Structure 1
Amino acid sequence: MVKKSLLLFRTVRHLKLKQIIYQFYYRLKPRKNLASYKPNSVIGLTFNALRFTTAYEITGLAGANCSFTFLNLKKDFAGTINWDYQGYGKLWNYNLQYFNYLHQTDITVELKQQWLHDIGSWLNIGKLKLEPYPVALRAINTIRFLSTEKLSDPLIIEDLYGQLDYLNDNLEFHLLGNHLLEDAFALFMGSSVFNNSTWAETSKRILYAELNEQILNDGGHFELSPMYHQIILFRVLELIDWYSKVEDYDCDFLKFVTSKAAEMLKWLELITFSNGDIPHFNDSAEGIAFTSAELFAFARQLNIKPNETLQLNGSGYRKYVSPKYECVVDAGDVGPSYQPGHSHSDMLSFVLYSKGVPIIVDTGTSTYQIGTKRTYERSTNAHNTVELPGCNQSEVWGGFRVGRRAEIEITKNTETALTAGHNGYRKKNVANHERNFIFADDVVSIIDVITGADELSLKALFHFHPNCKVEIQNPNKVFVNNIATIEFTGKNKLELQEYELANGYNKYLTATCLTVEFKKQLQTEITLL
């Protein structure tokens, strides 16, 4: 009990006071159904359709027989949809509520309207509770659907207004981060379609403040997940798209969000591999966000160009490129300090591609469900860095919590070298880990030095892509396909074992992990053939 209390304290102490206040406020606040937020009369409630340049189509989420597939898990409701279905967990149910499938062309408009009527009836009587995040995403999708199809459905419009009014009254100040941004994007869009100046003022104030804080000096999103960066970038591009076509738009605000889009585009351009992949650092997975290529295409449609003055900096990521390889290194802190829910214990991890082919990869994210798989995927053991026996660099726990955090310091940062260290093991073993990368044309050299743990057997971990055939050639050398050789100096033992690579949510591929045991210091030379 005492240990759990101390862990909770080490977690909560990083929160903003605003978050704590709103946590209590929303827990004590009486919960209302949608009917309580709807206008007393629909007379005078006008829906002003928006116009979009960036058209896109979603496929494979819903079937006309009321079957739904999210996170690679399918559920057939046989005609009667349970909007509160929890059989596959909360995130699956949220995806059901988001209504992204409104953009499927193989589902009739009439059936989509029927589904919106149905979920509205559940929300009106409290059979399904209102929650800000799914409300925000559903509102955005509904507005786009009604606008694109040129529909005037009084019942849907009335429900939509009520949900936006609820959102305005329940903005996620207790969470902040990408949740509050999504709330603001939805409310700002709603303010335009319903000519609501109060919503416009509130949402615009949030967007100014949060985009300034959440977009770092190198254009990266501060939750340090390439996937969430893609998600937020699309929202910014979508806002620019429709808002630039609204009469009497605020020129200064449009200029502001366009500049943020240009910064975010450059970060994404820098972090994306030449084959279009993103590194799956922190909570990142395939099949959730628009790809980098799609986002670059959207930006070109809007005539928005990347801010070429930026280089990777504040996000902590560094990328090194030669004719033979691309390597991305994570040398950033857990972030943001008050909302680290999507962070992993992965300092000084790296991902390596050769000529567009993945070699050493991140294990990725396959679930948000609390349990052994979620715990493993956030652990140091699941990343390409050095692990002390049974220790995580940072106290990742629960589904989205972090207690004590490792702190990183970069001491050398050039075009061909990076030296950084962290103190994540200081509490339990009074140990520090320093990792020195040296990048030559066809060789990546890594020197790991651990101080303060002289007697401990340490582990350097290398997670290979499933297409890699990894063989130990001799006591000091490993051969990877016809792509690379890896040679070690200072190792005690090499061992190959299987691990599960997250191939999207709830999908796995069996791959090989190389564990290198050593003491004090290890030198690794990866030679690209």
Structure 2
Amino acid sequence: MSLMSKGKLYLHTVSHLKPSQVAYRLWRRLGGATPLCRGHRVKGDPSCADIGRIPLLQELDFDAVFLRRFSPDDIVRGRIELLNCDTSIDWEKPWLCEEMSALWEFNLHYCEFILPLAKAACNAGGEKYVESGKDIISSWISVHPRSAGGVPWDPYVISMRVVNWLAFYGEAHDTIDEDELFLRKFNDSLYEQYGHLSIHLEKDILANHYLENLKAMILLAAYFDDVETLHLAVARFVEQVDEQILSDGMHFELSPMYQKIMLECLMRVMDVVRTCDSGAHAKLHRSLKSMVDCLYSLERGIERTPLFNDSGDNVSKGTTSLLRCAERHFGIEPSFVAELSEGGYCIFERSVGNAQVKAVIDVGAPGPAYALGHAHCDMLSFELFYNGRPWVVNCGTFAYQDPSRLRYKNTDAHNAPRFGDCEQSECWASFRMARMARMAGWSRMENGLEATMVDYRGRSITRRIEFLPEGVLVRDSSSEKCVPLVSTVHMAEPFAFADGVDSVESCYAPEFGAARTCRQHQVRGVGLVEYFLPVPEECFEQKEFYEFD
């Protein structure tokens, strides 16, 4: 790529940002502080710490889906598996894993793997698991001083880690309270991280990063009885929720995975705010209800996270536990919504033979213009499931820092149309999008929908999807008669497809770091592309009728 071309990409990318983001990025690069407000400094004191101010959310701390990712005995031995990659860690040395990706290293420093140790201690009554968790925390404190900086002191990493440390303490407080030396070290470190985070808030990145920063500030302010910071951080958090949670409950980065991560973030804050700010709690409760409805609608009756934008199954807490937490702690029962009009997802559930077919269709924008880091070229793409099983799949997100990153973000990694000479949008780096496609409009019909997108060069494609008794008909059309259309489809299994269509073996990633085989088909035409997806034959076999929950 020429210097001129790269310069244009940078200019188009920066043009989407808020002026404040550009200013804060330059300010942070120069070493400037980014506190909650000008001149703010945290107060409180390590001696004021009280874990009783941080309510337990065992549905999240001990989520079965989350716990299955870890072996407590392996963790005790220093063997850690994250994102389907494992290695041995010497807790007495800096936690350096040069062979692993930056995302893996971030996850290592989140320390979420200490929660399975707390659960193992509850189940087996074995103090060795709590002691191992304490040793891991003590190791982190010893080998990662603030002066060393780096990933351990990244603001987002701190925001995730302190929640896990507090949850571990809360779940194992009977044992931990007996160790005054450890507790003093623990509180001193948390207070130092609190102070560091308070002047390094990610106001240049915003979006989910800033919301997680504010969540951590709220929990730490409550823990250290810093009332002034608590009220200020809660006010900022409410402002961000108003901006980031759309009217239909979808998080504005439009990732089903981040929908779950942000839902956990919101519930952890709400349980703290409940006793200190009833007005904020009431506002957040309304957003929580819509977020719960959104998640429930997207995932009802299917076995995994829908793969739109950056999404995968082995990062967030499980949907069942999130919904259970919302019901038990906040009295929210989910309701099904077929159209997420602002988030841009349309959902169909149909009976076919002895099966239930579910479709999730993307009819929204790539994401918020100033936060496109997790956006893919997936407009007008769809996923199909029958009896909860994947049928037609997008390719997901294998990794953030990997040579294949852009391949997974490009149009052909999704069940989406494009013109033959370019992508829908200009995804040009792991978290960069320059010129982007836009949605021109869409309408839902009784048995399908029609939607029109405009690619980054200003050319439109209209997709019509119809649900017929024996399958799904997809029709892509454009008034452009000189540029061919390309429509890609990925089958999770070798299901039937039209003869004579280009077909190759490919892969998709329902989890980060784990790829599965799929079959990629490409249909080409000029002005018009049409194909039919017959429902898998087993849907017509005589068996017990499947119903959505």
Q: Same fold (TM over 0.5)?
A: yes
Change (3 A) 1:179 1:125: closer
**Aligned mates of 1:264, 1:96 — CA distance in 2:** 28
Aligned match for 1:469, one of 469, 494, 502: 494
Q: Deviations over 1:137-179 (max 9, x none)?
A: 1111111222222234001101101101111111110100001
Q: Verify: 1:282 aligned to 2:277, yes or no.
A: no
2:425 is matched with which residue?
Answer: 394
**Aligned mates of 1:292, 1:521 — CA distance in 2:** 39
Following TM superposition, by how much is the alpha carbon of 1:28 offset from its aligned partner in structure 2, in angstroms? 0.4
1:138 is matched with which residue?
Answer: 161
1:450 is matched with which residue?
Answer: 478
Change (3 A) 1:207 1:100: same
Following TM superposition, by how much is the alpha carbon of 1:87 offset from its aligned partner in structure 2, in angstroms? 2.2
1:364 is matched with which residue?
Answer: 396
Contact 1:445 1:523 in 2 (8 A): yes
AA paired with 2:457? R
Paired residues for 1:145-160 under 5 Å: 145-150=168-173, 151-152=176-177, 153-160=183-190
1:19 is matched with which residue?
Answer: 21
Contact 1:48 1:192 in 2 (8 A): no
Q: Verify: 1:439 aligned to 2:471, yes or no.
A: no
Aligned match for 1:82, one of 94, 106, 110: 94
Contact 1:263 1:310 in 2 (8 A): no
Q: Verify: 1:323 aligned to 2:347, yes or no.
A: no
Contact 2:299 2:305 in 1 (8 A): yes
Secondary structure of the residue aligned to 1:455 is coil
Which of the pair has the greater relative contact order for Cα pairs under 8 Å at 6+ separation? 2
Change (3 A) 1:395 1:269: same
Please say which of residues 258-267 and 386-395 is displaced more in the overlay: 386-395
**Aligned mates of 1:370, 1:224 — CA distance in 2:** 22
1:312 is matched with which residue?
Answer: 340
**Aligned mates of 2:337, 2:528 — CA distance in 1:** 38
Aligned match for 1:116, one of 137, 161, 165: 137
**Aligned mates of 2:148, 2:166 — CA distance in 1:** 23
Q: Verify: 1:51 aligned to 2:55, yes or no.
A: yes
**Aligned mates of 2:57, 2:435 — CA distance in 1:** 46
AA paired with 2:161? R
Secondary structure of the residue aligned to 2:230 is helix
AA paired with 2:363? A
Aligned match for 1:28, one of 23, 27, 30: 30
2:507 is matched with which residue?
Answer: 500
Please say which of residues 98-107 and 203-212 is displaced more in the overlay: 98-107
1:484 is matched with which residue?
Answer: none
1:98 is matched with which residue?
Answer: 110
1:489 is matched with which residue?
Answer: none
Paired residues for 1:237-248 under 5 Å: 237-244=267-274, 246=275
**Aligned mates of 1:66, 1:7 — CA distance in 2:** 44
More helix by share: 2
**Aligned mates of 2:44, 2:368 — CA distance in 1:** 43
Change (3 A) 1:439 1:101: same
Q: Compute the TM-score of the two structures, normalised by the length of structure 2.
A: 0.85
Q: Which runs of 5+ in 1 are unaligned?
A: 33-37, 479-492
Aligned match for 1:509, one of 501, 509, 516: 516
**Aligned mates of 2:55, 2:199 — CA distance in 1:** 27
Q: Which runs of 5+ in 2 are unaligned?
A: 35-40, 121-127, 178-182, 538-549
1:223 is matched with which residue?
Answer: 253
Q: Compute the TM-score of the two structures, normalised by the length of structure 1.
A: 0.88
**Aligned mates of 1:268, 1:471 — CA distance in 2:** 31
**Aligned mates of 1:31, 1:123 — CA distance in 2:** 21
Following TM superposition, by how much is the alpha carbon of 1:108 offset from its aligned partner in structure 2, in angstroms? 1.9
**Aligned mates of 1:274, 1:201 — CA distance in 2:** 40
Please say which of residues 310-319 and 134-143 is displaced more in the overlay: 310-319
Q: How many residue pairs were aligned?
A: 497
1:250 is matched with which residue?
Answer: 277
**Aligned mates of 2:51, 2:325 — CA distance in 1:** 24
Change (3 A) 1:31 1:241: closer
Following TM superposition, by how much is the alpha carbon of 1:522 offset from its aligned partner in structure 2, in angstroms? 2.0
Following TM superposition, by how much is the alpha carbon of 1:525 offset from its aligned partner in structure 2, in angstroms? 2.8
1:200 is matched with which residue?
Answer: 230
AA paired with 1:335? G
Aligned match for 1:187, one of 217, 241, 252: 217
AA paired with 1:187? M
Q: Verify: 1:404 aligned to 2:407, yes or no.
A: no
Q: Verify: 1:164 aligned to 2:168, yes or no.
A: no
**Aligned mates of 2:396, 2:96 — CA distance in 1:** 28
**Aligned mates of 1:162, 1:29 — CA distance in 2:** 18
Please say which of residues 277-286 and 73-82 is displaced more in the overlay: 73-82
AA paired with 1:253? A
1:482 is matched with which residue?
Answer: none
2:540 is matched with which residue?
Answer: none
Aligned match for 2:412, one of 381, 384, 403: 381
**Aligned mates of 1:393, 1:386 — CA distance in 2:** 8
Contact 1:99 1:141 in 2 (8 A): yes
**Aligned mates of 2:216, 2:371 — CA distance in 1:** 21
AA paired with 1:83? W
Following TM superposition, by how much is the alpha carbon of 1:346 offset from its aligned partner in structure 2, in angstroms? 0.9
